[in-house]
Structure 1
Amino acid sequence: MLALGTRSVLRHRWTRFASTAAPSSYKLVVIGGGASGLAVSSTLSEKLGKNEVAVVEPATRHYQQPLFTFVGGGLKSFGDTYRPMADVMPPNAQWINQAAATVDPEANTITLADGSTVSYEYLVVAAGIELNFAGVKGLESAIGKNGVASNYSPKYVEKTFEFLQNVRQGNALFTMPATPIKCAGAPQKIAYLADELFREKGIRDNVAINYYTALGKIFAVDKYADAMNAVAKSRNINVNLFHDLVEVDGSAKKATFKVLGSGPAAGESVTVPYEFLHVTPPMKPFDFIKNSALANTAGFVDVNQYTLQHNRFANVYAIGDCSSLPTSKTAAAAAAQSHILKHNLLAQIQGSDKPALEYTGYTSCPLVTGKHKLVLAEFSGYSGQPHETFFFNQANEHAFSYWLTADVLPSIYWNSMLKGTWTGPSAIRKFANPTSSN
């Protein structure tokens, strides 16, 4: 009997050979092998049958990105965050181990990076969003050294904890850009973990922690904004609104911000010396989406915010970070969206007259504030109103919320969400918070 590792390698090699040898035509093609793409393809490949569904995904590792904050804070190992893509790919789906280069929704075709073409009857775009380190002058040459790190990249996330441990005094800066980003709470979470680390080392009085956000609030939803402002104040973390990082001088260890908004300093530049700099890079839609007929004016896949169906091409859907859905881009949002998309798309494929389900904008952002403390923000990005699963006030720091996020949700992610069986906590909410009192 083959060992598990050997089976994984052989499966990986066979999948790569099979996928690159005969990409052709499929009932459904899913672009993206991230959380949302696998949640959709796992279920629909079972429903539609073997090799009716293809997944276009160039990566050979799948990362559970919500864990990157814990790695950057020294609370989990980087090895906890990933598995071989071959091990999480749905067994009934064909893995096309290529990047999408162009999409022609008029012809129902995708051109791959190697020049070959795949055709589809139905398309789900689940490509995520692209990190744009080049969007900040000097950042590409500074990142990974000069005290500059980012929890958003698997290449640099381990540098965060390494560089934090080297800090003895000076400024520790944490940034949030003006562009849409995935996991909008992550830029400030690492600031709270850094504060805790500096206190444990007895150097907190020697280090000024500054959080710079290009936005006008520390968090979009007022209930959680009030909570996070209180946390920042209690930790003596300076919150600077309307400050967008525009340049990093790694050799001089200086960061320059442009002041946004309409205040008296709007348009001015502010340069700050740093000892440590955590950068949340600006993010953008992938070019193959932005340059296609699928995109809206901002470059995201233009879909109906309730049904997730494309506004022009009826056989196209989108989910997650690449979509135009006006809610926070999180794994929790993708889980809830996957249920809506799969129901609506399958009904269309089967010619069913089932009424369409509608997505309400639900999303969640677990805001880690310490080793065993967390504010569990749950809300609708459409209404801006909290939509909490548990009976207690989730805007309060809570050890239960930390345990749920750090220990329970990773297991749900690997064992249920990627297999298409986890679509969010709505069923739990009926019992844990039946009156929606908070």
Structure 2
Amino acid sequence: MTDSPKITKLSETISVFPQIHTEDIPSSASSRYNIVVVGGGSAGIATAASMLKRNRNISLAIVDPSDNHYYQPGWTMVGGGIFSPEVTRRKEKDLIPHGALWIQSSVSSFNPESNSILTSDGQEITYDVLIVCPGIKLNWSAIDGLPEALGKNGVTSNYSYDFAPYTCRLVNEMTSGRALFTQPPMPIKCAGAPQKAMYLSCTKWERAGVLNNIDVQFHNNGAVLFGVSEYMPALMQYIERYNAHLNFTSNLVAVDGERKVATFEQKDGDSTKRVEVEFDMIHVVPPQSAPDFVSTSPLAAENGFVDVDPATLQHVKYENIFSLGDACSAPNAKTMAAVRKQAPIVAVNALAALEGKSPVADYDGYGSCPLTVERGKVVLAEFGYGGKLLPSFPTWLIDGTKPSRLSWLLKDTILPPVYWHGMLKGREWMVKPHLIGAD
């Protein structure tokens, strides 16, 4: 690891300021902060809140262009008819932690050698420590015809606030025909969400007495239904119960909404063939990648994501840069639960870096995927690096490998307020950072 540029001590920090919006800053402004957080989503807000709870004397800015903030794990529930879309959205300005400055702009480039970033509206912002967490890019246009087809002719996706309600409408109206559910190449955020959309649709059709009239197909670019084998027996029971047809190494490449035809590339030995499949409904998950301004930057690994040590989440080259959430290269599942665990770790490590010290906490790869296998039951998959099971509860209370009503209560009732009133407020319930060297 190379030597990092000189880091300003806390005693040299400027005073704490109230929330300020980008319209209050001239477009040519050049500003310096102890901490700059790129991204105001789950990772950015939670990390900033955790840091400010530990030290109110730091100057901290959050750079994000969005007016709205979304609880994205709720979109699967919107598509399943359990949540209304409005409960998953709040104003970004209302979530900025007290003492943080909100620069409402997007980043155009990183300049780590000069400890600065440049925004799209011409602001040069310099930092002592940088935290990069802008999320992941949804490449809707990578599937031919998809952008034009979405939201009509039976083409939908729970990966969008705008289209998740259309999923619910399609499922409610469908009484027969063919329903396709797709999963693109990894990495994607919430890798269980593509099949969760299928399960919640099937449980609705089962309750309505029409499931036997519907040809349900799951097309997965991968070779397995779920990457951690311990959860497979429970999931396969539901696949059989819903008579869903699994199609592996089958990747969606085109959608013709008018004709209601989906085109898949499927591996056939050493060759690849194109197969057209008619549908009445198709739930599409778009291919995903690192944001362009990350993948083309000096911070990127070969895969385009921010190149970090998977344990400390510190950049492998620049010691005063950290990354977490969907934009970092750590090989964990890209889920909100992973962010909830990562945020306190990055918070304490970034504060250590601000004092010129080495990271003090490490991350075990924890991620969670509450697989909504039917309305009222969840298979609570919790695992870390290498697929190691990392359950949060004793098995007598919740056995994550089996469908559970208590796990549904967690997903449906407990986690949303924990997100809004705990995680985003810097409250580290059950996710205190693990100190390096501790048992």
- CA offsets, 1:300-342, max 9 Å, x none? 0000001100001111000010000001000111111112211
Question: SS where residue 268 of structure 1 aligns?
Answer: strand
The CA deviation at 1:19 is: 5.2
- CA offsets, 1:44-100, max 9 Å, x none? 234443671000011111100011011011111111101110111111100000111
Which residue of 133, 138, 141 corresponds with 2:140?
Answer: 133
- CA offsets, 1:195-230, max 9 Å, x none? 111122222121111111111110010011232122
- CA offsets, 1:224-245, max 9 Å, x none? 1232122211221111111111
**8 Å Cα contact 1:364/1:377 also seen in 2:** yes
Q: Tell me which residue corresponds to 2:4.
A: none
Q: Tell me which residue corresponds to 1:389.
A: 392
Question: SS where residue 111 of structure 1 aligns?
Answer: strand
Aligned partner letter, 1:146: N
Alignment of 1:363-382 (within 5 A): 363-380=367-384, 382=385
Cα–Cα, structure 1 residues 49 and 106, in superposed 2: closer, same or farther, change >3 Å?
A: same
Larger deviation, residues 21-30 vs 100-109: 21-30
Aligned partner letter, 2:35: L
Q: Tell me which residue corresponds to 1:267.
A: 272
TM-score (norm 2): 0.90
Which residue of 363, 380, 391 corresponds with 1:359?
Answer: 363
Aligned partner letter, 1:373: K
**What is the alpha-carbon distance in structure 2 between the residues aligned to residue 274 and residue 25 of structure 1?**
54
**What is the alpha-carbon distance in structure 1 between the residues aligned to residue 200 and residue 429 of structure 2?**
29
Alignment of 1:284-303 (within 5 A): 284-303=289-308
**What is the alpha-carbon distance in structure 1 between the residues aligned to residue 181 and residue 219 of structure 2?**
6
**What is the alpha-carbon distance in structure 1 between the residues aligned to residue 271 and residue 242 of structure 2?**
28
Alignment of 1:225-264 (within 5 A): 225-260=232-267, 263-264=268-269
Aligned partner letter, 1:134: S
Aligned-pair Cα RMSD in Å: 1.9
Aligned partner letter, 2:409: W
Q: Tell me which residue corresponds to 1:280.
A: 285
**8 Å Cα contact 2:53/2:426 also seen in 1:** no
**What is the alpha-carbon distance in structure 2 between the residues aligned to residue 173 and residue 265 of structure 1?**
25
Q: Tell me which residue corresponds to 2:344.
A: 339
Which residue of 344, 347, 353 corresponds with 1:348?
Answer: 353
The CA deviation at 1:265 is: 7.5
1:149 aligns with 2:156: yes
**What is the alpha-carbon distance in structure 2 between the residues aligned to residue 229 and residue 201 of structure 1?**
22
Which residue of 310, 316, 331 corresponds with 1:311?
Answer: 316
Question: SS where residue 192 of structure 1 aligns?
Answer: helix
Aligned length: 412
**8 Å Cα contact 2:50/2:344 also seen in 1:** no
Question: SS where residue 308 of structure 2 aligns?
Answer: coil
Q: Tell me which residue corresponds to 2:8.
A: none
**What is the alpha-carbon distance in structure 2 between the residues aligned to residue 118 and residue 30 of structure 1?**
11
1:416 aligns with 2:422: yes
**What is the alpha-carbon distance in structure 1 between the residues aligned to residue 155 and residue 26 of structure 2?**
38
- CA offsets, 1:133-178, max 9 Å, x none? 0111111110111111111111211111112222232110110001
- CA offsets, 1:340-361, max 9 Å, x none? 21121111212457x6222111
Cα–Cα, structure 1 residues 424 and 257, in superposed 2: closer, same or farther, change >3 Å?
A: farther
**8 Å Cα contact 1:124/1:317 also seen in 2:** yes
**What is the alpha-carbon distance in structure 2 between the residues aligned to residue 151 and residue 185 of structure 1?**
12
The CA deviation at 1:108 is: 1.5
**What is the alpha-carbon distance in structure 2 between the residues aligned to residue 224 and residue 377 of structure 1?**
7
**What is the alpha-carbon distance in structure 1 between the residues aligned to residue 241 and residue 52 of structure 2?**
50
Higher relative contact order (CA 8 A, sep 6+): 2
**What is the alpha-carbon distance in structure 2 between the residues aligned to residue 300 and residue 283 of structure 1?**
11
Aligned partner letter, 1:365: C
Larger deviation, residues 418-427 vs 156-165: 418-427
Cα–Cα, structure 1 residues 425 and 119, in superposed 2: closer, same or farther, change >3 Å?
A: closer
**8 Å Cα contact 1:302/1:324 also seen in 2:** yes
**What is the alpha-carbon distance in structure 2 between the residues aligned to residue 116 and residue 367 of structure 1?**
43
Q: Tell me which residue corresponds to 2:436.
A: none
Alignment of 1:99-248 (within 5 A): 99-248=106-255
Question: SS where residue 262 of structure 2 aligns?
Answer: strand
The CA deviation at 1:426 is: 7.2
**8 Å Cα contact 2:136/2:326 also seen in 1:** yes
Q: Tell me which residue corresponds to 2:24.
A: 18
Cα–Cα, structure 1 residues 178 and 141, in superposed 2: closer, same or farther, change >3 Å?
A: same
Question: SS where residue 24 of structure 1 aligns?
Answer: strand
**8 Å Cα contact 1:177/1:280 also seen in 2:** yes
TM-score (norm 1): 0.90
Question: SS where residue 174 of structure 1 aligns?
Answer: strand
**8 Å Cα contact 1:71/1:158 also seen in 2:** yes
**8 Å Cα contact 2:340/2:431 also seen in 1:** no
Cα–Cα, structure 1 residues 345 and 87, in superposed 2: closer, same or farther, change >3 Å?
A: same
**What is the alpha-carbon distance in structure 2 between the residues aligned to residue 425 and residue 308 of structure 1?**
16
Q: Tell me which residue corresponds to 1:64.
A: 71
**8 Å Cα contact 2:138/2:286 also seen in 1:** yes
Q: Tell me which residue corresponds to 2:9.
A: none
Cα–Cα, structure 1 residues 90 and 222, in superposed 2: closer, same or farther, change >3 Å?
A: same
Query: Structure 2: 5+ residue runs without aligned partners?
Result: 1-17, 434-439
**What is the alpha-carbon distance in structure 1 between the residues aligned to residue 167 and residue 242 of structure 2?**
20
Cα–Cα, structure 1 residues 364 and 425, in superposed 2: closer, same or farther, change >3 Å?
A: same
**What is the alpha-carbon distance in structure 1 between the residues aligned to residue 133 and residue 357 of structure 2?**
24
Larger deviation, residues 223-232 vs 65-74: 223-232
Cα–Cα, structure 1 residues 114 and 50, in superposed 2: closer, same or farther, change >3 Å?
A: farther
**What is the alpha-carbon distance in structure 2 between the residues aligned to residue 120 and residue 343 of structure 1?**
17
